Structure 1
Amino acid sequence: MKYKYIIPIIASSLMLLTSCDDNLMEWKKVEGHGEIASSELPLALAEKITRYEPLKNYSTFNLGNGIGVSLYLEDETYRSIVNANFDEVVPGYEMKHGAMVKSNGSIDFTTMDKFVTETKKAGLSLYGHTLVWHSNNNASYLNGLLAPTIIPGSSGANSLNIAGLKDGTFSGWSRNNPGAGISIVDGAGLTSTSKAIKLISSATSSQAYNLQLTSPAVPIVSNHNYEISFYVKSDVTGKGRISFNSSLTNMYPWKDWFATGGSFTEAFSTTSAWKQVKIKLAPGDFATGATSFQFNLDLGYLPNVTYLIDVNTLAVVDLDAATGPVNLIANGTFNSGITGWNRINGATDALSAGTGAANVYEGSGSMKVVNATSDAGGQWKTQIQTTFISSLVAGKSYTISYMIRSEANGSVRCSTTPSTNASYQADQSTTTTWKLIEWKITAKGGETGFGFDLGGTAGTYYIDNVLVTDGSSSGSGQTDPITIEKTDAEKTQLIDGAMTDWISKMMTHFKNDVHAWDVVNEPVKEDGSLRDGVVTDMANDEFYWVKYLGKDYAVKAFKLARQYGNSTDKLFINDYNLESRLDKCDGLINYVKYIESQGATVDGIGTQMHISLTTDKAKIDQMFQKLAASGKLIKISELDIRLGTKSPTAVQLADQSAMYQYVIDSYKKYIPVAQQYGITIWGVSDNEQEHEYWLPDESPNVWDASYKRKHAYKGVADGLAGKDVSKDFSGELQP
């Protein structure tokens, strides 16, 4: 039968609509999906597909779509397809740790809040994807938590004699009131090799002087300022002060003990964490005619407290003494701005002064450099330089050192000038934590300056304490920074806290808007064993929570999600290749059993199903049978079907349609209705803007690159409806 009326046919990605031959427009019998090749009936098939209703009209469960948030917010065509065809949306990236957590650990909800508002208007529900995964993390922030702690040294040469402490004799020191004991303990300081003074208050201790250690005499230079500093901790909360002999006009001064710019108090507090005490004495603090002073460590305020003071950090510094190595550049501290440093290459706003406590390593300033574009071979494209006080001497050794941090993982190198005689440092990695970098060179002769080359990796960098020296010194100099590696227990505690902070804030913020979540994503290897985080070539956004929290990391994640979310939220675990590796499917199910044996509840299991035409259908059936036997809600969470090309043939498109229908048919056949959470199709179309990072040069989706329905649309719709919907179409077309 011929059509009485012919309407313009919307082109599909079948790309075969090249003929208007009426004999190709006959309705023919289609007993089963895909039995008639689309090349035989291209116009009739395309017409059928245009007459299908929106996909969600054929579904009896949640029909979701994995989408790009920015595309949804900005592209009207894309948004209208999503709104018309789906019940639920799953943000592909924007809800993950890497997208939301900033360099300081805070969470930026701005984009997702806008997305929630728009999807609510469209009547769409939002599925949370994903809370805990080893990829798409702000790994720079998380690794920064684990980085060694760098303890600044004293501000200058230590003029306090601590030899008697180092050898345990207390020579020059007086244990005036020893309380329950004052001794020297090896390996009890800031590092495993440093000594500590151990001071124990007695059971009756109640006055500061009940536990007192007095220093040797420290010589005074007229009109000089002094600084006293040390690191201290205690087994329980403690309290202490520093008092002085009669060389000070006020023997019991109130001070800002931690030099924080806070209030002045009689005493400082101590805890189980190392804390630096740092106070300053001005010339006016000393009595007239005083030539030296002594101080007392008074720790007797509270009974039964054990204090440790690191010996190596106990120092008295003459702040006005000419000490330290000779710096061959004029401004390496940036305490008075960035005078002497110039932008040679880079954006006009690339160079500025750094401010803020996190961005200044020591003192009151740093140098801030912003590189906008990554260019692995173009380090020189953002380049900041300064000049030496005098040119370098050929054959002589020099050391360039500096402290640097970046707001994300970055890269830096140094190079000397002029370029005709330059030496180049190898690229050095940077992180959010301050790092000391040294570059030792042998001068070629005639070098007039050097610079920082930061064009390799885009980011914001802060540089402080730049020192160029040939080894000569005007004094003993500042004490070196101390690097303290965190213990395994400390790392576990820090990552535990980071997970708690992340999940609690996400669940609380979205409590009224999201009622189903991928709590843990991709926890098992291909053989079904648990991922252990042992990876040789780790990506910049990879972070394996399991390395620090162990097998129970998922237990904690599910408990947190339940604690801070709603009691009725559906919490899923999700993984891929379950249809191709049945041992992996078994491993995931067993891990769910383990999680629940530890007191957490897992509501559902997601199987991603990023598959192709060659995927074994028998294994698909077996996977669904195994998942059904778990008794959990089952979700196809990220369904797409690759064809291996972005220019598929009509046969490939027909086969893709058949495979979409097969997956849906198998899901409905083997997963009991009560366990059918739903199906999420991953992505909308084959448009290249959706495939910049995922399956480029492919055609895995239900709409083509021009947002027209593909043959796959019919396969999905028929699978959801459980029949060939087009059999009910009449031959009468409406104009």
Structure 2
Amino acid sequence: MRIGSAVDGRSLSLDPAYSSLLGAEFNAVTTENAMKWRNLEPLPGVYAWPGADQLIEFAERHGQAVYGHTLVWHSDVPTWVSPDWPAERLRTELRDHVTEVVSRYRGRVWAWDVVNEVLDEDGSLRETLFLRKLGRRYIADAFRWAHAADPGARLFINDYGIEGRTRKADALLKLVKELRREGVPVDGVGFQSHIAWDQPPRDLTGNLRRFADVGVSVAITELDVRVELPTTPEKLERQAAVYRQVLRSCLTVPACVSFTVWGFTDARSWIPGYHRGYGAACLFDGNLAPKPAHQALIDELGRHAGTDRASPTTN
């Protein structure tokens, strides 16, 4: 079971306490921003590899698996990519990007978020530059390009708001079935799981299972549990219960192959900047002290390990 965290590149470079805790607590890491297209290729054909290379090398020194994030996302298109380009030029640039990045890290990244957030809340395909210019085909193309560049990597489609049986989750399930029937190498579905402390997901276990029944892996890819500020001991205990619930769901479903928190310290969390009035979303506080959620995950892992020892036939 991979237990991972997204990684803030600046902290990894400049904060020894941060990097020490990252290396000790997790057996997997995800690049929070360093592998996104806008950051990797700020100018046409000019790649800025140091941030991504740094994380890969850190992971290899610490025996950690690397989850690549993300190859195609409408929110991180470089500014030099023009909406006025003809479709074939955009397709060529996207193909070259996917191929270049996956090829560089072939054999060193176990899984990729190939396409990210392709659906709107109502389950329709999100209106993006890629959809307007290339049509639905761009999703299948991205998976095929990534597979050609590294046949050994596991390829995921990743989205938010799909933890329960929502219209969006139903639409994603339908999309995954269609892609696989077409022979597209979709290996897994990533559940981002940005959750509020007082709104735990409903029937996450059952939802993970129905995706697994399609024949794909599932993964918790970006878990955080934001708390309405100011925090109180009661709120942090309820937060811990949500973290435990999500991990338990993942451990219950054999096809759930990875559990990743979206940053492990409140000092580097994205939540306060995007959810006004909320924060304290991570396992460690701003001083890197563990919170109740941290102990809840340890307890749940221990409980699951004990169940496995008692039941040799458990998957």
**Aligned equivalent of 1:591, options 169, 172, 175:** 175
Aligned ranges 1:99-114 → 2 under 5 Å? 99-114=39-54
**Residues of 1 paired with 2:158 and 2:271: CA distance?**
22
Instruction: Report the 3-state secondary structure (helix = DSSP H, G, I; strand = E; otherwise coil) of the residue aligned with 1:545.
Output: helix
Is 1:683 aligned to 2:250, yes or no? no
Call closer, same or farther: CA 1:492–1:81 in 2, change over 3 Å: same
Instruction: Report the 3-state secondary structure (helix = DSSP H, G, I; strand = E; otherwise coil) of the residue aligned with 1:641.
Output: strand
Call closer, same or farther: CA 1:654–1:601 in 2, change over 3 Å: same
Which residue does 1:63 correspond to in 2?
3
CA RMSD of aligned residues (A): 2.1
Call closer, same or farther: CA 1:653–1:639 in 2, change over 3 Å: same
CA distances 1:183-219 after superposition (whole Å, capped 9, x unpaired):
xxxxxxxxxxxxxxxxxxxxxxxxxxxxxxxxxxxxx
Instruction: Report the 3-state secondary structure (helix = DSSP H, G, I; strand = E; otherwise coil) of the residue aligned with 1:82.
Output: helix
**Aligned equivalent of 2:134, options 543, 549, 553:** 549
Greater Cα radius of gyration, structure 1 or 2 = 1
Call closer, same or farther: CA 1:573–1:600 in 2, change over 3 Å: same
Aligned ranges 1:394-543 → 2 under 5 Å? 491-533=86-128
Check whether the contact 2:112–2:155 (CA below 8 A) recurs between aligned residues.
Answer: yes
Call closer, same or farther: CA 1:711–1:569 in 2, change over 3 Å: same
Is 1:668 aligned to 2:251, yes or no? yes
Call closer, same or farther: CA 1:98–1:692 in 2, change over 3 Å: farther
Call closer, same or farther: CA 1:681–1:688 in 2, change over 3 Å: closer
Aligned ranges 1:132-143 → 2 under 5 Å? 132-138=72-78, 140-143=79-82
Read off the aligned partner of 1:608 and give its amino acid letter: Q
Instruction: Report the 3-state secondary structure (helix = DSSP H, G, I; strand = E; otherwise coil) of the residue aligned with 1:119.
Output: helix
Which residue does 1:625 correspond to in 2?
209
More helix by share: 2
Which residue does 1:701 correspond to in 2?
282
Instruction: Report the 3-state secondary structure (helix = DSSP H, G, I; strand = E; otherwise coil) of the residue aligned with 2:215.
Output: coil
**Residues of 2 paired with 1:118 and 1:658: CA distance?**
31
Please report how far the alpha carbon of residue 492 of structure 1 lies from its aligned counterpart in structure 2 after TM superposition.
Answer: 1.1
Instruction: Report the 3-state secondary structure (helix = DSSP H, G, I; strand = E; otherwise coil) of the residue aligned with 1:656.
Output: helix
**Residues of 1 paired with 2:221 and 2:167: CA distance?**
19
Which residue does 2:311 correspond to in 1?
none
Is 1:657 aligned to 2:240, yes or no? yes
**Identity rate, percent:** 28
Please report how far the alpha carbon of residue 723 of structure 1 lies from its aligned counterpart in structure 2 after TM superposition.
Answer: 6.0
CA distances 1:558-589 after superposition (whole Å, capped 9, x unpaired):
00000111x22101010001125522111111
Please report how far the alpha carbon of residue 62 of structure 1 lies from its aligned counterpart in structure 2 after TM superposition.
Answer: 0.6
**Residues of 2 paired with 1:724 and 1:109: CA distance?**
39
Call closer, same or farther: CA 1:115–1:667 in 2, change over 3 Å: closer
Read off the aligned partner of 1:561 and give its amino acid letter: A
CA distances 1:420-469 after superposition (whole Å, capped 9, x unpaired):
xxxxxxxxxxxxxxxxxxxxxxxxxxxxxxxxxxxxxxxxxxxxxxxxxx
**Residues of 2 paired with 1:110 and 1:617: CA distance?**
37
CA distances 1:573-624 after superposition (whole Å, capped 9, x unpaired):
1000112552211111111122223331111000011001232543434422
Instruction: Report the 3-state secondary structure (helix = DSSP H, G, I; strand = E; otherwise coil) of the residue aligned with 1:98.
Output: helix
Call closer, same or farther: CA 1:708–1:695 in 2, change over 3 Å: farther
More strand by share: 1
Read off the aligned partner of 2:209 and give its amino acid letter: Q
TM-score norm. by structure 1 comes to: 0.40
Aligned ranges 1:245-644 → 2 under 5 Å? 491-533=86-128, 544-565=129-150, 567-580=151-164, 582-644=166-228
Please report how far the alpha carbon of residue 700 of structure 1 lies from its aligned counterpart in structure 2 after TM superposition.
Answer: 0.6
